[in-house]
Amino acid sequence: MSFNFVLIEAWNGLRRNVSMVVSVILVTLVSLTFVGSAVLLQLQVQSMKSFWYDKAQVAVYLCTEYSTLGQCDQAEASPDQIASVEAQLKSGTLKPYIDKYYFENHDEAYKNFTEQFKGSGVVDLVTPDLLPQTFWVNLKDPTQSAIIFEAVGGMSGVESVVDQRSYLDGIFSMLNAASLTAVGVAVLMLVAAALLIATTIRLSAFSRRRELAIMRLVGASNWFIQTPFILEGVVAATVGSLLACGAIAGIIVFFVDGFLQSSLPTTAFIQLSDSWIVFPVLLGLGALLAASSAYVAISRYLRV
Amino acid sequence: MIRFDGVSKVYRSGNRPALHDATLEVKPGEFVFLVGASGSGKSSFLRLILREERASSGQIHVLGQDLGRLSNRKVPHYRRNLGVVFQDFRLLPTKTVFDNVAFALRVLGKSEAFIHDAVPEVLGLVGLGNKENRLPHELSGGEQQRVAIARAVVNKPAILLADEPTGNLDPATSNGIMDVLRNINTAGTTVLMATHDTAIVNQMQKRVIELSEGRIIRDEASGSYQTKAHAIIADDFEPTRADSQPILVEPLDFDPIPDFDPMSPSSEAVDLSYLDRLKDEDPL
């Protein structure tokens, strides 16, 4: 019975305060969407890291006729030079670190290149002799690429040694910056949401100040007075959180899986099934935020 | 039932105490008038009993509870033993008479069955048995105050506090309200009533406690409203027209001694400081 009364009071509060409640819903929606996007970006970064870091190789590019960098002097790496690089890779000092390596000659490099850039105009400009012969090295521990740099970087016939992870690091730091930005915006919006919820609850309490005064006089317990207001805030914020969950699901289904996946088919993007963890986080965060700011706002009215 | 031991109350902003070293005891079933000019400490007295304020010093015991040691968390439960009536009724304008009274029970979590028994009974007690479905603005002032009294006593409190319950009412209506309060008192409830209403106090011949500037200056069983303070005012009043012919004195366009009009209970400027304080607690 008294629980019913509390629910009715909360519902009346929501109904009397529609415009404020709508603004609470919208602000919660936007802020939690940013929170969710930040979490999704982090999930994406993690999944890409674990996917790519293991596959990342160290490339030992050898000299071509046209290269002037490293130990090259516009001369193709000679078979002797190639053999000594290979010998170095096989040597006892490097062997424990190397999982496997293979040699790619001009024609193989050209074949891979044309496959990779199929449809692009650059394919017509490239000839096999432009592409360097390469030793592709898979390390047992991908973080130890510095050993290869030291061992073969200075050898004659080696143009350069490149850890593919350095390309990935650029992408990851970009994604990290984006998710930090999203977190920053989310924090600002969450502060706004908390203040807005507090204001809404205060307005609601003000419009019911007569009832509150009488409740206090006749000795209604504090939880009985507080609960409708806290419920009011939590309901509004939960509607906002649900909408934010919808927005996040929409982003994954239509933008990530629809647009990004079709334009970058080789990249593994997060799926809806990977990101379910975001939804309880958003719902919990919204409810907690609303309950605590509503509680603080209404406590003023309960000082005896 | 109510015991004050050397109670003083000083408000943070006030330069003099609202209540100074008050000691008294009220026994169960008593009917007590609190009289005194505005600002004499009557409202502070009632607020202290309600535990809306804490005493600055001294001890207050009500119904066996030491109010100084009563934690904020326990205040709501303590207040269920008290009924309160105000000069301005404080009814909920959107609720019917029945719902206004029922509200006090609903917020305590009472069952609907209990409410449907208790509310008509108490409305009968205050003489409003046939007006259950009216809204407050459809009632006269006296009837509204009866609703407020019904709400205050529907939970059968041991003590009824009334802060100038007849302050907004004409003498005839006031007498009706006093009949209701007397009935409630006869049924066993202790009644503590702050008032300026000379006629009522004189007529009831109940215990009178007079406050002046926060001090208890009189505590009489079967007392009347007449006070030393008024005698002094009356003395001052006479000489002002002794030296001139009465016909030449221009009539004042305001009442120089608003408190000294035994015929009109509401002649004194209404003490709104209590309401102002209530408003300050609102955030907007």
Instruction: Per residue of chain A (304 residues), give pLDDT as tens.
Output: 467 878 888 888 888 888 889 999 999 999 999 999 888 888 888 887 777 777 778 888 888 888 777 777 777 888 888 888 888 888 888 888 888 888 888 888 888 888 877 777 777 888 888 888 898 888 888 778 888 888 888 888 888 888 888 887 888 888 888 888 988 988 998 999 999 999 989 988 888 888 888 998 888 888 888 899 999 999 999 999 999 999 999 998 898 888 888 887 767 778 888 778 899 999 999 999 999 999 999 987 776 5
List CB contacts (< 8 A) between A209 and chain B: 282
Write phi, then psi, for A146 (nearest 5 degrees). Answer: -60, -30
CA end-to-end span of chain A, whole Å? 26
* Cβ-nearest to A214 among B72, B77, B90: B90
- CATH of residue A81's domain is 3.30.70.3040
In this complex, is the C-beta atom of A304 within 8 Å of any C-beta atom belonging to chain B? yes
Tell me the residue type at B23.
T
Number of domains in chain A: 2
Contact B107 A218 (CB under 8 A): yes
Cβ neighbours for A213, distance < 8 A, ≥ 6 positions apart: B90, B278
The token duo for A248 is 């996040």
Q: Specify whether the CB–CB gap between A220 and B76 falls below 8 A.
A: yes
CA end-to-end span of chain B, whole Å? 39
Question: Are A103 and A23 members of one domain?
Answer: no
Question: Are A67 and A105 members of one domain?
Answer: yes
The token duo for B91 is 């009814």
In this complex, is the C-beta atom of A214 within 8 Å of any C-beta atom belonging to chain B? yes
Distance (Å) from the alpha carbon of B87 to chain A's nearest alpha carbon: 14
Which of A114, A131, A163 delimits the end of a domain?
A163
Q: Can you tell me the distance from the alpha carbon of A272 to that of A284, in angstroms, rounded to the nearest whole number? A: 19
Is ipTM > 0.90 here? no
Examine residue B154 and state whether it is found in any structural domain, yes or no. Answer: no
Contact B155 A218 (CB under 8 A): yes
Contact A216 B80 (CB under 8 A): no
Contact A211 B103 (CB under 8 A): yes
Contact B104 A214 (CB under 8 A): yes
Tell me the residue type at B259.
D
Contact A218 B151 (CB under 8 A): yes
Question: Are A184 and A297 members of one domain?
Answer: yes
Examine residue B196 and state whether it is found in any structural domain, yes or no. Answer: yes
List CB contacts (< 8 A) between A301 and chain B: 281
Instruction: Please tell me the number of Cα atoms within 13 Å of A186 on its side-chain side.
Output: 20
The token duo for B87 is 């000069």
Question: Are A208 and A266 members of one domain?
Answer: yes
**Token match 């209530």: residue?**
B278
List CB contacts (< 8 A) between B90 and chain A: 210, 213-214
Question: Are A289 and A179 members of one domain?
Answer: yes
- CATH of residue B8's domain is 3.40.50.300
* Cβ-nearest to B92 among A2, A211, A303: A211
Task: Identify the domain containing residue B67 by its residue range.
Answer: 2-81+180-280
Q: With left for phi above 0 and alpha for psi between -120 and 50, is residue B122 left, alpha or beta?
A: alpha
Contact A224 B111 (CB under 8 A): no
B153 → chain A, closest CA residue: A218
3-state SS class at B260: coil
- With CA atoms as reference, report the closest residue to A243 among A300, A286, A200, A188: A286
Examine residue B127 and state whether it is found in any structural domain, yes or no. Answer: no
Contact A217 B284 (CB under 8 A): no
Distance (Å) from the alpha carbon of B238 to chain A's nearest alpha carbon: 45
Contact A224 B109 (CB under 8 A): yes
Distance (Å) from the alpha carbon of B281 to chain A's nearest alpha carbon: 7
Contact A206 B278 (CB under 8 A): no
Distance (Å) from the alpha carbon of A274 to chain B's nearest alpha carbon: 46
**B193, containing H or E segment:** strand B190-194
- Decide if pLDDT at B256 tops 60: no
- With CA atoms as reference, report the closest residue to B88 among A303, A214, A206: A214
In this complex, is the C-beta atom of A221 within 8 Å of any C-beta atom belonging to chain B? yes
Taking only the tens place, the pLDDT of each residue in B158-175 is 999 999 999 989 999 999
Contact B79 A216 (CB under 8 A): yes
Question: Are A119 and A17 members of one domain?
Answer: no
Examine residue B264 and state whether it is found in any structural domain, yes or no. Answer: yes
In this complex, is the C-beta atom of A181 within 8 Å of any C-beta atom belonging to chain B? no
Taking only the tens place, the pLDDT of each residue in B68-109 is 999 988 999 999 999 999 999 999 999 999 999 999 999 888
Question: Are A188 and A287 members of one domain?
Answer: yes
Examine residue B75 and state whether it is found in any structural domain, yes or no. Answer: yes
Instruction: Give CA A186 to chain center in angstroms.
Output: 14
- Decide if pLDDT at B270 tops 60: no
Examine residue B205 and state whether it is found in any structural domain, yes or no. Answer: yes
Question: Are A117 and A266 members of one domain?
Answer: no
Cβ neighbours for B59, distance < 8 A, ≥ 6 positions apart: B3, B4, B5, B6, B7, B66, B68
Secondary structure of chain A in the HEC alphabet?
CHHHHHHHHHHHHHHHCHHHHHHHHHHHHHHHHHHHHHHHHHHHHHHHHHHHHCCCCEEEEECCCCCCCCCCCCCCCCHHHHHHHHHHHHCCCCHHHEEEEEEECHHHHHHHHHHHCCCCCHHHHCCHHHCCCEEEEEECCHHHCHHHHHHHCCCCCEEEEEECHHHHHHHHHHHHHHHHHHHHHHHHHHHHHHHHHHHHHHHHHHHCHHHHHHHHHHCCCHHHHHHHHHHHHHHHHHHHHHHHHHHHHHHHHHHHHHHHHHHCCCCCCCCCCCCCCHHHHHHHHHHHHHHHHHHHHHHHHHCC
Question: Are A275 and A148 members of one domain?
Answer: no
Tell me the residue type at A276.
W
Question: Are A192 and A132 members of one domain?
Answer: no
The token duo for A59 is 């490339």
Examine residue B37 and state whether it is found in any structural domain, yes or no. Answer: yes
Question: Are A149 and A261 members of one domain?
Answer: no
Number of domains in chain B: 1
Helices (H), chain B: 42-50, 75-79, 97-106, 112-125, 141-153, 171-186, 198-204, 228-237, 273-280
B151 → chain A, closest CA residue: A218
Write phi, then psi, for B58 (nearest 5 degrees). Answer: 90, 175
Q: Can you tell me the distance from the alpha carbon of B56 to that of B214, in angstroms, rounded to the nearest whole number? A: 13
Size of interface A-B (CB pairs under 8 A): 72
In this structure, the number of other CB atoms found within 10 A of the CB of residue A226 comes to 19
Computed over every residue of chain B, the mean pLDDT equals 83
Contact B283 A300 (CB under 8 A): yes
Q: With left for phi above 0 and alpha for psi between -120 and 50, is residue B156 left, alpha or beta?
A: left
Task: Identify the domain containing residue A157 by its residue range.
Answer: 57-163
In this complex, is the C-beta atom of A177 within 8 Å of any C-beta atom belonging to chain B? no
Contact B283 A222 (CB under 8 A): no
The stretch B136-153 carries a mean pLDDT of 95
Q: Which of B74, B107, B108 to mutate to test the interface with A (most CBs of A within 10 A)?
A: B107
Strands of B82-86's sheet in order across:
B82-86, B159-163, B190-194, B31-35, B207-212, B215-220
Model pLDDT, residue B115? 95
Q: Can you tell me the distance from the alpha carbon of B89 to that of A217, in angstroms, rounded to the nearest whole number? A: 13
Q: Can you tell me the distance from the alpha carbon of A102 to that of A3, in angstroms, rounded to the nearest whole number? A: 73
Question: Are A190 and A158 members of one domain?
Answer: no
Examine residue B145 and state whether it is found in any structural domain, yes or no. Answer: no
List CB contacts (< 8 A) between B46 and chain A: none
Q: Can you tell me the distance from the alpha carbon of A240 to that of A296, in angstroms, rounded to the nearest whole number? A: 20
Cβ neighbours for A250, distance < 8 A, ≥ 6 positions apart: none
In this complex, is the C-beta atom of A100 within 8 Å of any C-beta atom belonging to chain B? no
The token duo for A30 is 């936007």
